Structure 1
Amino acid sequence: MKKSFSTISSLVLGTALTTSVASGATGELAKIMKDRGLSEVDVIRAAKTYNPTGVKDKYVVFSSGGQSGQMIVYGVPSMRILKYIAVFTPEPWQGYGYDKDSIDVLRQGNIRGREINWGDTHHPALSETDGKYDGKWLAINDKANPRIAIIDLADFETKQIVVNPVFKSDHGGAFFTPNSEHILEAAQYAAPFDNNYHPIEEYKETYRGGVTVWKFDPKIGRVVPNDSYTIEMPPYMQDLSDSGKGLSNGWGFTNSFNSEMYTGGIEVGMPPNEAGMSRNDTDYLHVYNWEKLYKLSKDPKNVKIINDHKVIPMDVAVKNNALFLIPEPKSPHGVDVDPTGQYIVVCGKLDTHASVYDFKKIKKLIDNKEFVGKDPFGIPILDMKKSLHGQVELGLGPLHNQYSPVDGEIYTSLYVDSQVVKWNFKTLKVLDKENVHYNIGHLAGMEGKSADPQGEYIIALNKLAIDRFQNVGPLHPQNHQLIDISGKTMDLLVDMPLPLGEPHQAVAIRASKLHPHVRYEMGTNTKTGKQHIGKTLAGQERIERDGNHVKVYGTLVRSHINPERITVNKGDRVTMYLTNLERAEDETHGFTVDHYNLHGSLEPGETIELDFTADIEGVFPYYCTEFCSALHLEMMGYLMVKDPNKKYESAQKIKMKSMTPEELKAEYDKTVAVNNATDAVIQSVVKFLKDNKYQDHKVVANLVTDAFDQYNQIPAQKKKADEAVKAGEMEKAILFENMIWQLMVKTADVGIRAKDALVRIIATTQSTAAARGEKTFAEGGCNGCHVIGKVSSGPDLTGVLQRHENGVDWVSRFILDPQSMYTDPYVKGMIDYFNLKMPNQHMNKEEVKDIIEYLKWVDENANLF
């Protein structure tokens, strides 16, 4: 059922508000709505997702990136993409897979000695404490190459990749247990556990499914392979899983398809897999006590060692009452444990019903050994009806579920119907449906699979977009749609195209639970979290040679790379250790050497290692790839590779003596004068900062520290300049003075930012009108000529309201109609002085009023500008 008027009527208050705004003095909103054909409901929906500049989202979503092998991070409700996390695939911007430390992480994912450089990320999982997301770790599986990756949410970087030693594919991963001691990963397509050839005719005998229970250390965020094990299961295709919690803690639930154990054979005249694998009316839900089996895995007699990995055989699990089967609707896809741990909801793609299992009933049947039989492998089967709380018909193609904080409330995706259905798994009643576009797969609720679901929003992860976006060719983006579930009925708010991979599943967490770094401790290896062996501080830069191995210990800081010249022999192995010396937030430096397929991304405090063979001769610039300062283009150097077996004929040195000694002296004096003037500006900023106790404000203090890092390098350069003058080497003296100027520019750049930040902290609070006025002042182009606090292309406007009788009226008239006042003696004097006329910026009266309020605020804080 698709609502229409019900949605609109539920938004009456919002509509009234919008209409009120639209009919305001400017009528701008009404005009925009008319021009774009927007209704009041459209505007309300837009307002629900809009974040003004600087405003952050309440939730953060981690979505798999599908065939990209990466992860996508975006905010809710804005649906703005914030980051791509590099996981199984090289990612150039972040240097992932292009510097040695990240390559080491990628190579953890090698399979049977083969490099694997792509992945199919599927099911992300957030670490939990007491079943609630704790914001510390993120796990994601690779379906194509059965692997699990661990991402540290302190910096959103991949720290570990673990290869499943017995699976050949996986789909049902990753799922944390309630206190993150284990991660469940289920096989997808049954295959032999060993790495040998086995004919398909031996499918039942030698092909197997299973669930790997990875031991996880939540303190350090690492999987512990030696303490992990796999539960052998029949060659039914195991699919999604979920870990029990609360009432069912210690148990795991994994559904499956192909209880027929069909193996296809189109090429020999057999029906295709899709027919043979869906003949039975039911498949099997696997119910297993992973906690008991973990303890059993400690005893060697309970396990087989396959590929150096512990496997618990089916008969051992059965003998210890730890593995059971329950019939479930055929071809199920979702299995989801409710926040209490009592109810398990299973949806079958080929069944219109959702089945709600009751763990209390399941446990009672197990304890009473009340079984209806065994499967061909001897696993006890529980009676489906006796295990069920009930079933409810939802629609065509039910798949996945998310819970809300309302007791019994659940949301389910309907693939065929392209809908989200809201229903109650306790009362078994359907409550609402919402159309989506199109063919929805997973759902992402706000912490909707945890013990503490938040409600508010549901995100539909749709498989098809078809006609929703601008045509960009046959390959369409995916479509994530945000749905407001805070009201009685659902309301679809916005579409978000995702042009990366096929995002398969997503998980959402409150942003308040995430506490990522803004910088690293100096010299950190971000992949290990420890101090990097190549940590290099200012003054420690050097080049060392050991035979044909050249080690470069370098630093990057605005705006130079040290060293700036590196000469090696063709064939040398070159190891570069580079440290970003910045302390300021968001001052990333990149590094590449042309032609050598290298790239590093160095966040503040990070050290990376680049390792390569200088196998081609030539001159290769290296430079910072992140635009970091006004002198970014000058942040470069040269790698010069010479052939030791080749004789070079040096070009005749041309002595650059085009200037007379008098001209050189004049140039030197001019450079020193510019530096003295620049230093005077710096000292005035320093005085302002000290007078206003900058050290009391951490953000400002960090910037000041960063500025002095640059300024404190000047004395050494000045000493060199003075020595050059004394020796009569004026060309060299000028170069050192130019270096001083560059250091001063960088100091002033950071110092002025520190001053501006301090002004904002200690200035009086702006009124709403003054804030609007400042925005209008900027957007209207006023600051192109007028810089508050100093004379620029136009006069300083500090105190402008006091310069004229009835100053507010005078300034207002001048802004509204400057041409009419060009003959005013004061205005004419300004025109003659600046050789520039005030243009008409076509401000309206309301905007001018706001600018006046802004100028009043400037006058209140005149001592700060």
Structure 2
Amino acid sequence: MLFGSLFFGSVLFGASELETIMKERNLSEKDILAAAKTYQPSGRKDDFIVFSSGGQSGQVIVYGVPSMRILKYIGVFTPEPWQGYGYDEESKKVLAGGNIRGKQITWGDTHHPNFSEKNGEYVGDFLFINDKANPRVAVINLHDFETTQIVANPVIKSEHGGSFVTPNTEYVIEASQYASPLDNEYHPIDEYEAVYRGAVTLWKFDYANGRIDEKNSFTLELPPYWQDLSDAGKGESFGWAFTNSINSEMYTGGIEKGLPPFEAGVSRNDTDFMHIYNWQILEKLAKDSKNYKIINGHKVISIKAAVDAGALFLIPEPKSPHGVDVTPDGRYIIVGGKLDTHASVYDFKKIKQMIDKKEFAAKDPFGIPILDLKKALHGQVELGLGPLHTTFDAKDGIVYTSLYVDSQVVKWDYKNLKVLDRVNVHYNIGHLDTMEGKSAKPIGKYAIALDKLSIDRFNPVGPLHPQNHQLIDISGAKMELTYDMPIPLGEPHDVISISASKLKPAMTYKMGTNSRTGKQHEAMTLAGQERVERDGKNVKVYATVVRSHINPEHIEVNKDDNVTIYLTNLERAQDETHGFGIDLYNIHASIEPGKTASVNFIADMEGVFPYYCTEFCSALHLEMMGYLYVKDPNKKYESAKNSQLKTLSPDALKAEYEKVIATNKATDDVIQSVVKFLKEKGYEKYPRVKELVIDALDQYGKIGEVKAKADAAAKSGDLNNAILWEYQVWQYLVKTADVGLRAKNNLVRELSTPMSEAASRGEKAYLTGGCNGCHVIGQVSSGPDLTGVLLRHENGEKFVFDFIKDPAKFYEDEYIKSMINYFNLRMPNQHMKDNEIKDIIEYLKWIDENAGLN
């Protein structure tokens, strides 16, 4: 056996060892070559990224080519717990956009993904995908691979032909499938031709805002043929779009009445119709109310208005077609017929000439002009049984078509109408894609066959088999099947691919981002801003998450409170995602670095419920938790502490009393020192500070009455109740201290020297960069106090700059190593820019300048 061409003889590999492995595993040299073509060593990234529909999962699957490694699932039409999609409030709003007639839809059938385009070329900004089960279209922002919008079609009842994009992403096309009344009323089937209709909706896309503009979208009424797939013209055919159909017979079935089933009646004619419509004319018609009706609050342009304006035509096509694909230059349209052995190549130049000359062969029952099939054709090629979908190569004129019945991919020349090659796939291929194969500039190189059946390809896993995505190398003269990938999620109907270099997703969010809007979340919370706000039964918790704690760690609410928890991830380092789940409350959120998300629930279960980080984020991941306490305000609880005190001996009870007295005195000492500072600095001059002081004094004023009860109990010898009252005193002291310290911090800020512009920018970078997640100015927290940090090293400014720039370089430095050991944390690389680091150093200088105020 020859190994030289593959492995340079035995220099890199022992030929005998390789030969042994090949023999043991029954591998051929062809197998080894296929493996080499798809293998990606650790850390090497793929050249192309593929977005696949997830079928009945309602999601999108993302994987790489040539490795075929699955990289991500994107939650779209159905909840996806890992991403918190459908569990946090922000994504619930997105899903609610897909409600139909007020009904929540809990599943979807994703079918046709498509990218945003400019000049017909793929742009990695947005991905669109339709839901066949419930006529909806979703927008996925590829800035972060999250679904940001779902729109429900107000007039179509079922669809298959979405979501196809015009060359500059002016519109997203969604065509109906089974004819239905466009209104929401009951109509019997014997009114089929009179009331039932097909339709194609053109969703206007606002590129700058990344959203479908429902107000400026419209629908074209079509006959009650069953519309199917679509494609938009480009180049020579720019401004036009094409949608094929089945059931030109307008057969209405009735197997339960003894009539032939649908499958017999809808394939009787030799031809069906391809719809040709000019969306540039239609968008003008949509601006004049005489051309459209308002149905369910949506503009529907009538067949008559479209025909009168020269915007709608029909061309016969082979029966039961299932694919319509425009060539990269826009000159030709290729259609495959499921029940024909041919692919038909239409010449748009001929079509346009007939339209311009008004040279029509006939009109359909609805008055739509029909063009002559033979005059419109460039030609037909016999490919095999069941031609479905076509995709393009970088080489001019070369295309690939899937054959469902023959389970093959055929390579052929659509200009010269000649078959070039074919390869077997396993089994019953549906859609087919080459790299960027439907764009104005296809790359080719690889093809992906989406096989509906896998039968004997993989280990048996029960009656429900995975489907099979197969990678085909099309770079040579002969196609080579190189990889089988089972897809165990939904029915992965179609894929679309893009060069990895065109995708520029953010690795972290700007601090406090609402990922579903791309804007700053109204509840962004930075370190030091954590708080709980109560308004009657509405409780709002402003929380932060950072390695390795959730702040606050204790949340107490009353039973039946309406609780909203806002969570901001203070991390700036890549891949430091935190999750948030509350046991037994069906609550989950995924909070990526810089993101703010929220969860809302009614606290309808009494008890104690741990909450925790659901992502294994650090060595102290298990310690990243807290407790939600839900108490019934109408119940009187027997204190476990009280029960414990009752069991103490007199000496132990006295010791406990003295301990709480000492704690309260120490806390009060802190308060008095704060009060002294506030008075000396004239806090009354500063309204914001004064408001906080009033709040603190209000809490402090409640202590006297409770303290008197504690003292009276102690005097009577009832140390048990004395201790409990002293604990109540402590509660008021803590609340006073909390507000008082905030008042002091605000006053310090008022008294501090004015910040330079650089220091002000530095403070912003410090806060939004997540530094305050571990560092608290003026005290030791999860990390060291940064007051005086510039004085701790020779040439301190340079040391701090270099350390922030690349912390890993200093992990073995003796001083830094001691800090790591003490705090059990390493400072991550926050990926600060040089100018941000310089500004932070100016901020640290300002801190040192005003350190004496604390």
- What letter matches 2:272 in structure 1? D
Secondary structure of the 1:611 match is strand
Q: 1:281 to 1:48 in 2, by over 3 A?
A: same
Change (3 A) 1:639 1:430: same
**Is 1:91 aligned to residue 155 of structure 2?**
no
Answering whether residue 410 of structure 2 is matched by residue 346 of structure 1, we say: no
CA contact (8 A) 1:323 1:379 kept: yes
| Cα distance in 1 for residues equivalent to 2:379 and 2:821 | 73
Partner SS for 1:599: strand
* Corresponding residue SS for 1:317: helix
Shift of 1:748: 5.4
Aligned residue runs from structure 1 range 381-780, under 5 A: 381-653=370-642, 654=644, 710-712=774-776, 715-717=779-781, 749-751=825-827
* Aligned-partner residue type, residue 715 of structure 1: Q
Aligned-residue RMSD, C-alpha:
2.6
Q: Which amino acid aligns with 1:588?
A: T
Distance 1:119 1:496, change over 3 A: same
Question: C-alpha distance in 2, partners of 1:484/1:38?
Answer: 19
Partners in 2 of 1:649 and 1:427 — Cα distance?
90
Q: Secondary structure at the match of 1:571?
A: coil
What does residue 97 of structure 2 align with? Answer: 108
The match for 1:43 is 32
Q: Is the 8 A contact 2:573 2:830 kept in 1?
A: no
Query: Secondary structure in 2 aligned to 1:750?
Result: coil
Where 1:456 maps in the other structure, the secondary structure is: strand
Which AA in structure 2 matches 1:37?
Answer: N
Tell me if 1:280 matches 2:265: no
Question: Partners in 2 of 1:751 and 1:118 — Cα distance?
Answer: 43
> CA separation of 1:746/1:17 partners in 2, compared to 1, >3 Å: closer, same or farther?
farther
Provide the C-alpha distance between the structure 1 equivalents of 2:173 and 2:772, rounded to a whole number of angstroms.
51
Distance in 2 of aligned mates of 1:107 and 1:441: 32
Q: When the two structures are superposed, what TM-score results if normalisation uses the length of structure 1? A: 0.77
Aligned identity (percent) is 66
In the other structure, the counterpart of 2:209 is 220
Judged with a 3 Å threshold, the aligned counterparts in structure 2 of structure 1 residues 708 and 562 are, in CA distance, closer, same or farther, namely closer
2:195 maps to which residue?
Answer: 206
* Residue pair 1:15, 1:44 contacting (<8 A) in 2 also: no
Whole-Å separation in 1 of the counterparts to 2:769 and 2:299: 54
| Distance of 2:73 and 2:828 partners within structure 1 | 33
Q: Deviations over 1:469-496 (max 9, x none)?
A: 0000000001000000000010000000
- After superposition, the Cα gap between the structure-2 partners of 1:164 and 1:30, relative to the gap in structure 1 and judged at 3 Å, is same
How many pairs align?
A: 686
Contact 2:783/2:823, CA 8 A, preserved across alignment? no
Q: Which amino acid aligns with 1:357?
A: Y
Question: How many angstroms apart in 2 are the aligned matches of 1:14 and 1:513?
Answer: 37
Indicate yes or no: 2:347 matched with 1:358.
yes
Structure 2 Cα separation of the partners of residues 287 and 108 of structure 1: 31
Preserved CA contact (<8 Å) 1:175 1:183: yes
Q: In the TM superposition, what whole-angstrom CA distance separates every residue of 1:595-618 from its partner, at most 9, and x where no partner exists?
A: 110100000000011111000100
What is residue 54 of structure 1 aligned with on the other side?
43
Q: Match for residue 16 of structure 1?
A: 5
In the alignment, which residue of structure 2 is the partner of 1:675? Answer: none
Counterpart Cα distance in 2 of 1:487 and 1:566:
64
* 3-state secondary structure, aligned to 1:386: helix
Could you tell me whether the CA contact under 8 Å between 1:252 and 1:289 is conserved in 2? yes
The answer for the alignment partner of 1:824 in structure 2 is none
Counterpart of 1:528 in 2: which secondary structure? coil
- Equivalent residue for 2:108? 119
Is 1:295 the counterpart of 2:284? The answer is yes
CA 1:85–1:23: 2 relative to 1, 3 Å: closer
Partner of 1:681: none
Task: Output the CA distance in 1 between the equivalents of 2:173 and 2:523.
Answer: 37
Aligned-partner SS, 2:109:
coil
The alignment partner of 2:9 has SS state of helix
Which runs of 5 or more residues in structure 2 are unaligned?
A: 660-764, 786-816, 832-854
8 Å CA contact 1:398–1:412 kept in 2: the answer is yes
Change (3 A) 1:752 1:548: closer
* Contact in 2 for aligned 1:711/1:743 (Cα 8 Å): no
Deviations 1:308-331 (A, max 9, x none): 100110011110111000000000
Residues 742 and 412 of structure 1: is their aligned pair in 2 closer, same or farther, counting only changes over 3 Å?
farther
> What is the CA distance between 1:513 and its match in structure 2?
0.1
Q: Distance in 1 between matches of 2:98 and 2:385?
A: 39
SS of the residue 1:89 aligns to: coil
**Alpha carbons 2:473, 2:479 under 8 Å: kept:** yes
- Is the Cα contact below 8 Å between 1:22 and 1:29 reproduced in 2? no
Post-superposition offset of 1:750: 2.5
- Structure 1 residue 218 displacement after superposition: 1.5
The residue type equivalent to 1:441 in the other structure is G
- Cα distance in 2 for partners of 1:16, 1:130 equals 42
Cα deviation digits, residues 243-273 of structure 1 (max 9, x gap):
0000000000000000000010001010000
1:72 and 2:136 matched: no
* Rounded Cα–Cα distance in structure 1 between residues aligned with 2:277 and 2:88: 43
- 1:851 maps to none
CA shift, 1:83, in A, is 0.3
Residues in 1 aligned to 2:269 and 2:485: alpha-carbon distance in whole angstroms: 39
SS where residue 497 of structure 1 aligns? strand
2:59 is aligned with what amino acid?
Q
Matched residue type, 1:559: S
Q: Contact conserved, 1:710 with 1:747, CA < 8 A, in 2?
A: no
SS at match of 2:37: helix
Task: Name the CA shift for 1:22/1:275 in 2 (closer, same or farther; >3 Å).
Answer: farther
Q: Structure 1 CA distance, aligned partners of 2:772 and 2:558?
A: 38
SS in structure 2 of the partner of residue 500 of structure 1 = coil
The structural deviation recorded for 1:652 is 3.6
- Aligned-partner Cα distance in 1 for 2:133–2:491: 13
Answer whether contact 2:6 2:33 (CA < 8 A) is retained: no
For 1:243 and 1:620, how far apart are their aligned partners in 2? 54
Does the 8 Å contact 1:558/1:746 carry over to 2? Answer: no
Contact residue 427 and residue 453 of structure 2 kept, 8 A: yes
Alignment-mate amino acid for residue 246 of structure 2: F
What CA distance in whole angstroms lies between the structure 2 residues aligned with 1:531 and 1:218? Answer: 20
SS at match of 1:321: coil
Tell me, what secondary structure is at the counterpart of 2:779? helix
Deviation at 1:749, TM superposition (A): 3.7
Task: Report Cα offsets for 1:509-540 as digits up to 9, x if no partner.
Answer: 00000000100011110001111111000000
Does the alignment pair 1:130 with 2:129? no
Amino acid in the other structure paired with 1:710: C
Distance 1:364 1:185 in 2: 27
Q: Return the letter of the residue paired with 2:208.
A: K
Paired residues of 1:559 and 1:746 also in contact (CA < 8 A): no
Structure-2 change in CA distance of 1:254 and 1:719 (3 Å): closer
> For 1:827-842, what aligned pairs fall within 5 Å after superposition?
none
Partner of 1:28: 17
The 3-state SS of whatever aligns with 1:325 is strand
CA distance in 1, matches of 2:118, 2:38: 30
User: Residues 677-719 of structure 1, C-alpha deviation per residue, up to 9 Å, x if partnerless?
Assistant: xxxxxxxxxxxxxxxxxxxxxxxx99x9867852556834599
The alignment partner of 2:83 has SS state of: coil
User: For 1:516, what is the secondary structure of its paired residue?
Assistant: coil
Structure 1 residues 541 and 408, CA, compared in 2 at 3 Å: closer, same or farther?
same
Q: Normalized against structure 2, the TM-score is what? A: 0.78
